[in-house]
Amino acid sequence: MNYKSFSINTPADVRPWGVRETQAWKDIIDNVVLDCIQTTSDITGHKHYRLFDPNAVARLTITNNAQVYLSAPECAHGMTFYYPTTVFGVIEPIGYTPGLGGDFGLRITGIGTTRGDYGLELVGVLGVADPDDTIAAIRFSGRKRNGTGFDTLAATETICDFANFNTIKMTLTAGGILGIGTQTFNAAMVNGLALGNGTEPDALPANQIYIYSTDSQDDTLATLGLYTEQHVEFGLTPSDCYLEIKINGERYALLLYSFPGK
């Protein structure tokens, strides 16, 4: 370990510390500082050798941009346009420029490698074997400023969204509207599902159905689209059709009429 030279007596005395002064400083570190951190010594008897081990691998770095890097020498994701290749986790401000400030927010980034593990996994563990059924293992809570405190969001405001890079794919509003493929909602609507126009599948789905929005054939207005593994069957007449459905555990037939001109 390298120890910095200090002035010993007066400003004019700039001699570097000798062996005795250096040893005394080591003892101060051991007895005053490091005893509060570590209770066992290595074979040298100096606990600070562990703390300042020159062969230790850097695991935690705080940059001048207020970023916190979690690193491992075995990590090599290769996406160095954003972060060093050995960094697998980042905690950093959003919209911040050192010396200038910015519109602060917090970003947490997990970076996976070619082994195929998750980029980021968020886990919430309830600490009892039989928890209250209404207590969530993970909660997402959206709030907004109210003076010096927080307040609830208005019904038309957004709690959270999910994006593919920067393209929003799913939105949840404070009014309880879940939007898929759309972020435009009627202000009077609460507790509903809003679907943007989709593209129907090109084959029958196995063990699932699709519910989506699609334009009608004649006036291009959005209407309900269903794609089921169950085929639509013919009824008593060729123009009458039905789709087998199940309601409250009982089988029913949803009666349909063939589209005019089909």
Q: Is residue 47 part of a domain?
A: yes
Residues 6+ apart with CB under 8 A from 239: 257, 258
Are residues 123 and 61 located together in one domain of the fold? yes
Are residues 16 and 46 located together in one domain of the fold? yes
Are residues 48 and 4 located together in one domain of the fold? yes
Beta bridge partners of 251: 246
Q: How far apart are the first and last CA of the chain?
A: 86
Q: Is residue 232 part of a domain?
A: no
Are residues 153 and 114 located together in one domain of the fold? no
Q: Is residue 48 part of a domain?
A: yes
Amino acid residing at 258: S
pLDDT value for 20: 76
Q: Is residue 92 part of a domain?
A: yes
Q: 3-state DSSP helix/strand/coil percent for the chain, to nearest 5?
A: 10, 30, 60
The rounded distance, in Å, linking the Cα atoms of 147 and 143 is 13
**206 and 222 in contact (C-beta within 8 Å)?**
no
pTM of the model: 0.74
Tens digits of per-residue pLDDT, 89-139?
999 999 888 788 888 899 999 999 987 789 999 999 999 999 999 999 999
pLDDT value for 169: 97
Q: Is residue 233 part of a domain?
A: no
Give the residue-averaged pLDDT of 53-77: 80
Mean per-residue pLDDT of the chain: 83
Beta bridge partners of 168: 163
Identify the sign of the CA torsion 133, 135, 138, 139. positive
pLDDT value for 13: 54
Are residues 105 and 157 located together in one domain of the fold? no
Strands (E) located in 94-157: 96-97, 101-102, 106-110, 144-146, 149-151
Q: Is residue 158 part of a domain?
A: yes
Are residues 77 and 97 located together in one domain of the fold? yes
Domain extent for 9: 1-54
Q: Is residue 234 part of a domain?
A: no
Lowest mean pLDDT among 18-22, 166-170, 215-219, 232-236: 18-22
The rounded distance, in Å, linking the Cα atoms of 28 and 52 is 15
Q: Is residue 132 part of a domain?
A: no
Q: Based on the structure, what is the number of domains in the chain? A: 3
Are residues 50 and 72 located together in one domain of the fold? no
